[in-house]
Amino acid sequence: MRSRLFWRRSAAVAGTYASAALGFGATVVALHVFSTETFGRYALVLAATALAQSLLDLTVEEALVKFGFRFVTREDWGRLRRLFAGAIAFKLVGGLLATGLLLAFAPAANSLLHKHGLTTPLLIGAFIPLAQCTENVGGVAIVLRGRYDVRAFFLFVSMALRLTAIAVAAPHGLSATIAAMVAAQVVATSAISVAGWIAYRRFPQQPAVPLGEDRRDILRFVAQSSVATGVLSLTAPLSLLVLGRVASTRQVAFFRAAMSPQQAFAVVSAPARLILLTEQTRDWERGTRDVVFAGIRRYTLGMAAAAAVILPPLLVFTPEVARLLFSAKNEGAVDATRIVIVAGALRMVYGWTKSFPVSIGRPALRIWTHGLELLVLVPLVGVFGAKWGATGAAAAVLVSSVAFCLYWTFLFLRIRREPAPAGASLEAALP
């Protein structure tokens, strides 16, 4: 049993890191093939796509994890089936709405952002939300079987397809690249959907039954989780779009390049977060709260030690790394990259905050913490970005990250002090 668990965790780590390397490689390829101006437009198109998904694509996968484990623990297979059927319907509607919003926005994008060359790639990229909408539902079915290693493998497949699409299509222009990314997403979603269906069919199959008294809690969880994920997902695309409004396309390109280390730091903690989400949600449902808190302490100490080791050399050699990865034409991103490296290391240490609210059934905590981050970030990007371009926007990222981490420290200590029977009253007391 222990050897099987070790293998699954190791495979999850390997798959997640490999997928991250491929995702980062896709950004590097785009930076080298596109001109700085074209890469800036590429960043704006993807930011607009992400923004539409954040606003309209409901986050049901977190409720699927939380209540899916609850129903599996109860062996309530009829409600599990109803839960999945509702999740698929919600995701399809959200994907359609996001695609419609982007199709409506595309003709006005050039004038609204004071740029050119955005309309056609946006019209093509509008279909990314629809192509991607059910991907995570298949992933949750795999996670409910405890196979986060298989989920990590499909992350790798998705990133490999995206890298291939960019590498093949980038020499042919921005519109061709976005079209290839849409096609790659269709293939990736189809693959994990098939695997998720196979995993789901391994549960006992019973006719769907009404969710009953759980329905209200599930809808509340979905609503709070959707708002929380929306606020979180808004931060990066909004900061790019705000910077695009107050600064040049070149500065947008520099800022997008500088944000790459933050993605890399998120990837360092991604396998641990995937394991935490799966195992801690199950532990919390079983009532073993101390196991959950102990896991978070171990995670925080481990990531703090990793940050202490890797941060100094990264800051010293940032110019060399930037020239290697971003190419000489994007050297203007060096100062911004240094600042984002510090912010990324800090967020890596607090990476547990993504899974913890889901595991304990309090997604509203993410609304307030990421809401604070957004309220700090967006105005500062506008002010600092107008004055210092990409470097100013990176400084805004650092300030908002510090605010986010301080708030989560306060909330975690407050939750930790509460006795188990007081969970419900604590949820009402917290924002």
Residues 263, 97 contacting (CB under 8 angstroms): no
Of 141-155, 274-288, 363-377, least confident by mean pLDDT is: 274-288
User: Does 19 score more than 60 pLDDT?
Assistant: yes
Residues 337, 322 contacting (CB under 8 angstroms): yes
pLDDT of residue 185: 93
User: Does 270 score more than 70 pLDDT?
Assistant: no
Using pLDDT thresholds of 50, 70 and 90, give the confidence band for residue 425: very low
Q: How far is the C-alpha of 193 from the C-alpha of 141, rounded, in Å? A: 9
Q: What percentage of the chain exceeds 70 in pLDDT?
A: 90
Q: How far is the C-alpha of 415 from the C-alpha of 184, rounded, in Å? A: 42
Residue with more model confidence, 144 or 341: 341
Q: What percentage of the chain exceeds 90 in pLDDT?
A: 21
Residue with more model confidence, 210 or 407: 407
Residue with more model confidence, 400 or 51: 400
User: Does 136 score more than 90 pLDDT?
Assistant: no
Report pLDDT digits (tens) over 335-347: 898 999 999 899 8
Q: How far apart are the two ends of the chain, measured CA to CA in Å?
A: 41
DSSP 8-state assignment for residue 361: T
pLDDT of residue 422: 45
pLDDT of residue 272: 67
Q: What is the mean pLDDT of residues 334-363?
A: 86
pLDDT of residue 428: 38
Q: What is the mean pLDDT of the chain?
A: 83
Instruction: Determine the residue type at 352.
Output: W
**Inter-axis angle of helices 260-285 and 249-258, nearest 10:** 50
Domain locations along the chain: 1-212, 223-431
pLDDT of residue 430: 41
Q: What is the mean pLDDT of residues 268-287?
A: 71
Using pLDDT thresholds of 50, 70 and 90, give the confidence band for residue 217: confident
Of 144-148, 255-259, 379-383, 408-412, least confident by mean pLDDT is: 144-148
Maximum Cα–Cα distance for the chain, whole Å? Answer: 61
